């Protein structure tokens, strides 16, 4: 040390200089775990799907892609079977689509309605605070508890056989609808809060009624945010398994549901049933089902996130 | 607007006829509908509490098990009429603790990276990627545990003479941990980015490095918000079902061995539904009692997280 005083002004200089980049690198690596996990996940599942007799080497991308396509096409057209060579997800996929429609019909209007009530109608006070706290807590309730609720309320109706829906699509759709209600409400509320109040005041000043202001001005401006929340909520509903196991989406259904009052099974439930089997062939089938599910959900979420990012940029700019 | 003028007859122009009866009816109807929507969310909570409460009471009545014995009994054997859920509590605790050990540090580091270190362009890519990851259904993580994590654990530990069972706690901890990383990082990142800029600038002005600003100024300032996100993540881990069912199995036992299987509260509920318990039998009703325990523990954690977060918000208002 040529300057003895420098150690006084710069205590632990070496450690300080070193610690920064090391910590930064650690933080960066931690952030990358997410990306790594996503690629390992998709990679291992695709590898499992392709790992069948007569495989092409991995670098033969064209044949592998064709193989994958053929395999997934077969899975989509076949129904559940004890024979892995004949097993598929047709019933589950149709069931999931039915659920998607029922959930959307129930949860979207109710969720948006509740959010509009909280943001535009409810006077600030106890009522609003109670509902708000309640929604925040509902968002944290484990999905299986919603399954229990659906089982007791919709499937059994507390033993009142007249009202009981049984293990039908109605019961499944309503249960999942309640499950994603908080997601839609919270997202819609956030979207409504970004609408400038000058817009409301201008419309009111021109003589529009409360509902006209909301219908013609507030909701259209908040639409991208609402859309994002709704898509995220619906994709959550599609991926849920535990509540459906509770409300009776049995795995052993071999025909397509004829209507919302019919018994059903869903894609994630079928995946669960195949994944439980110890044999490697069924594991491959489960991997194929997961690939279908993940691609569907990731594209739904990507659309939702894209809508939101694009919208928030246009507001800022 | 034109909608208004249309309803005023030409002879009265200049005199406003007042709101039409149809329109005030619409206004009232819409208000009532929106209130109904908001009420449905409150009714959901009421329904959950009612269902769980009633059926739990019935369980205690029919099974003749005392509350104390229910909570502290170490044997869970529904066929033998023994309902001690301590093994379930222990299993749940193991999975929650193990997954927290993985998720909390990684999630926090990645939150610090995203809020303090990341250039805005990197952030714009990584944040949506994390959100996509959060949208992957839990059954996929469970399948990944069976497909990848457990075989890797076997390959590492079995040559060392440590037996690893097909369903084990360690792989459940790993997949649940990985699953809740996006939750921790995105909630903590929100809190850290909200720390006022002035605090950071004051730190830099005093000659602190980026590392010191991040860990000694920003992190302590956002600590209670970070804590809130930790608590929420633990609550998510407790309520997690499908990943644990496929990774850790369904054997209720109290063991310290992380390579043995266990049963959590959520997996017990699934196993009862999947079993042959008849409707109204004590075994069937025990599902609701365990559901009540699960609901109350996650509710307590969620409320705690909210209180902690509120304290954080008060500091900076």
- The DSSP-derived string for B238-305 is HH--HHHHHHH-S-------TTS----HHHHHHHHHHS-PPTTSHHHHHHHHHHHHHHHHHHHHHHHH
Q: Say which CATH class B86-315 falls into.
A: mainly alpha
In the block, which residue shows the tokens 């089902």?
A289
Q: What pLDDT does residue B18 have?
A: 64
Q: What pLDDT does residue A316 have?
A: 39
For B78-118, write each residue's pLDDT tens digit. 777 788 889 999 999 999 999 999 999 999 999 999 999 98
| Interface check B316 vs A, CB under 8 A | no
For residue B64, how many C-alpha atoms fall within 13 Å in the half-sphere facing its CB? Answer: 2
Q: What pLDDT does residue A156 have?
A: 83
**CA dist., res. B90 & res. B177, Å (int):** 17
| Interface check A44 vs B, CB under 8 A | yes
Mean pLDDT of B193-206: 92
| Interface check B204 vs A, CB under 8 A | no
How close is the nearest chain B Cα to the Cα of A28, in Å? 6
Q: Among residues of chain B, what percentage have pLDDT more than 70?
A: 92
ipTM of the complex, rounded to two decimals? 0.87
Mean pLDDT of chain A: 85
3-state SS class at A86? coil
**CA dist., res. B212 & res. B209, Å (int):** 5
**CA dist., res. A269 & res. A290, Å (int):** 11
Q: What pLDDT does residue A3 have?
A: 54
Q: Which residues of chain A have pLDDT under 70?
A: 1-9, 52-58, 250-251, 312-317
| Interface check B15 vs A, CB under 8 A | no
Position with higher pLDDT, A40 vs B21: A40
**CA dist., res. A235 & res. A180, Å (int):** 9
Residues of B in contact with A152 (CB under 8 A): 51, 55, 288
Is CATH 3.30.43.10 what the domain over A90-316 is classified as, yes or no? no
Whether B10 has a pLDDT exceeding 80, the answer reads no
* Helix A143-150 / helix A169-193 crossing angle, nearest 10 deg: 130
Q: Among residues A98, A254, A257, which one has the least CA distance to residue A176?
A: A98
Q: Cα separations (Å) of B156 from A43, B103, B150, B152, B161? A: 21, 22, 10, 6, 10
Mean pLDDT of chain B: 86
Give the model's confidence band at B38: pLDDT under 50 very low, under 70 low, under 90 confident, else very high.
very high
Q: What pLDDT does residue B314 have?
A: 64
Q: What pLDDT does residue A180 have?
A: 94
**CA dist., res. B66 & res. B64, Å (int):** 6
Backbone angles phi, psi at B250, to 5 degrees: -140, 50
User: CB pairs below 8 Å between A and B: how many?
Assistant: 270
- Provide the b/e sequence for B6-39 (b: ≥16 CB within 10 Å): eeeeeeeeeeeeeeeeebeebeeebeeebbebbe
Domain boundaries, chain A: 14-50, 90-316
**Residue A271: closest C-alpha in chain B:** B139
Q: What pLDDT does residue A1 have?
A: 45
Position with higher pLDDT, A109 vs B132: A109
Q: Out of A207, A208, A246, name the one closest to residue B273 (CB).
A: A246
Query: Are residues A30 and B109, on separate chains, in Cβ contact within 8 Å?
Result: yes
Among left, alpha and beta (phi > 0; psi -120 to 50; other), residue A183 is alpha
Query: Are residues B241 and A144, on separate chains, in Cβ contact within 8 Å?
Result: yes
Chain A interface disruption, residue of B48, B108, B175, B297, most A CBs within 10 A: B48
If contacts are CB pairs under 8 Å, which of residues 195-224 in chain A contact chain B?
A: 206-212
Between strands B82-83 and B76-77, the pairing is antiparallel
Mean pLDDT of B212-224: 90
| Interface check A101 vs B, CB under 8 A | no
Domain boundaries, chain B: 86-315
Query: Are residues B139 and A16, on separate chains, in Cβ contact within 8 Å?
Result: no
Whether B205 has a pLDDT exceeding 60, the answer reads yes
Which tokens belong to B119? 């250039």
Chain A interface disruption, residue of B124, B139, B273, most A CBs within 10 A: B139
For B41-69, write each residue's pLDDT tens digit. 999 999 999 999 999 999 998 888 888 88
Residues of B in contact with A24 (CB under 8 A): 113, 117, 210-211
Mean pLDDT of B227-231: 93
Whether B123 has a pLDDT exceeding 80, the answer reads yes
Query: Are residues A28 and B117, on separate chains, in Cβ contact within 8 Å?
Result: yes
**CA dist., res. A285 & res. B165, Å (int):** 23
For B167-184, write each residue's pLDDT tens digit. 889 999 999 999 999 999
Residues of B in contact with A140 (CB under 8 A): 232, 235-236, 298-299, 301-302
For B286-317, write each residue's pLDDT tens digit. 999 999 999 999 999 999 998 888 877 766 65
If contacts are CB pairs under 8 Å, which of residues 104-123 in chain A contact chain B?
A: 109-114, 116-118, 121-122
**CA dist., res. B296 & res. B41, Å (int):** 18
3-state SS class at A317? coil
**CA dist., res. B67 & res. A292, Å (int):** 45
Q: What pLDDT does residue A317 have?
A: 32
Choice among A120-129, B9-18, B219-228, B251-260 with the minimum mean pLDDT:
B9-18
CB atoms within 10 A of CB B143: 29
If contacts are CB pairs under 8 Å, which of residues 277-296 in chain B contact chain A?
A: 279, 287-288, 291, 294-295
């Amino acid at each position: 040390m040529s300057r003895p005083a420098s150690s006084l002004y710069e205590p632990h200089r070496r450690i300080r200089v070193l610690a920064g980049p090391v910590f930064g690198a650690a933080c960066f690596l931690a952030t990358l775990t997410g990306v790594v996990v996503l690629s390992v996940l998709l990679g291992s599942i695709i590898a499992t799907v392709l790992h069948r007799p007569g495989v092409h080497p991995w670098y033969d991308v064209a044949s592998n892609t064709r193989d994958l396509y053929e395999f997934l096409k077969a899975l989509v057209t076949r129904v559940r079977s004890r024979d892995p060579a004949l097993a598929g997800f047709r019933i589950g996929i149709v069931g999931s689509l039915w659920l998607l429609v029922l959930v959307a019909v129930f949860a979207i209007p109710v969720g948006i309605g509740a959010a509009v009530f909280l943001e535009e109608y409810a006077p600030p006070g106890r009522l609003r605070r109670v509902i708000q706290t309640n929604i925040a807590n509902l968002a944290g309730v484990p999905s299986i508890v919603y399954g229990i609720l659906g089982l007791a309320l919709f499937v059994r109706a507390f033993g009142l056989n007249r009202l009981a829906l049984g293990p039908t699509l109605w019961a499944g759709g309503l249960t999942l609808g309640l499950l994603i209600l908080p997601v839609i409400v919270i997202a819609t509320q956030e979207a409504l809060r970004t609408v400038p109040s000058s817009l409301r005041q201008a419309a009111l000043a021109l003589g529009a009624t409360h509902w006209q202001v909301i219908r013609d001005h507030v909701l259209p401006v908040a639409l991208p945010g609402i859309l994002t929340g709704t898509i995220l909520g619906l994709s959550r509903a599609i991926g849920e398994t535990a509540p459906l196991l509770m409300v009776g989406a049995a795995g052993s259904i071999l025909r397509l549901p004829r209507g919302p009052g019919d018994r059903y099974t869903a894609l994630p439930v079928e995946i669960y049933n195949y994944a439980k089997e110890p044999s490697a062939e069924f594991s491959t089938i489960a991997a194929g089902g997961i690939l279908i599910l993940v691609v569907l959900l990731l594209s739904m979420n990507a659309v939702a996130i894209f809508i939101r990012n694009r919208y928030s940029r246009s507001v800022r700019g | 607007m034109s909608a208004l003028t249309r309803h005023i007859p030409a002879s009265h122009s200049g005199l406003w006829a007042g709101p039409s009866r149809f329109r005030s009816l619409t206004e009232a109807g819409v208000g009532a509908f929106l209130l109904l929507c908001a009420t449905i969310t409150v009714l959901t909570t009421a329904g959950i509490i009612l269902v769980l409460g009633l059926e739990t009471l019935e369980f205690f009545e029919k099974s003749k098990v005392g509350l104390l014995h229910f909570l502290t009994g170490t044997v869970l054997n529904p066929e033998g009429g023994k309902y001690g859920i301590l093994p379930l509590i222990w299993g749940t605790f193991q999975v929650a603790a193990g997954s927290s050990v993985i998720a909390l540090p990684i999630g926090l580091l990645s939150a610090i990276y995203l809020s303090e270190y990341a250039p805005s362009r990197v952030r714009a890519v990584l944040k949506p990627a994390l959100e996509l990851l959060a949208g992957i259904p839990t059954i996929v993580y469970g399948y990944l545990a069976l497909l990848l994590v457990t075989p890797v654990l076997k390959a590492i530990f079995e040559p060392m003479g440590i037996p690893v069972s097909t369903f084990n706690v360690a792989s459940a901890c790993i997949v649940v941990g990985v699953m809740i990383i996006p939750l921790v990082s995105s909630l903590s990142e929100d809190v850290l980015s909200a720390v006022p800029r002035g605090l950071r600038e004051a730190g830099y002005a005093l000659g602190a490095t980026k590392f010191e600003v991040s860990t000694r100024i920003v992190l302590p300032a956002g600590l209670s918000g970070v804590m809130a996100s930790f608590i929420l993540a633990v609550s998510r881990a407790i309520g997690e079902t499908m990943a644990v069912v496929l990774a850790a199995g369904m054997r209720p036992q109290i063991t310290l061995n992380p390579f043995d299987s266990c049963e959590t509260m959520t997996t017990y509920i699934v196993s009862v539904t999947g079993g042959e318990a008849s409707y109204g039998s004590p075994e069937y009703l025990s599902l609701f009692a365990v559901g009540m325990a699960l609901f109350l523990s996650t509710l307590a954690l969620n409320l705690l997280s909210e209180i902690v977060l509120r304290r954080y918000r008060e500091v900076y208002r």
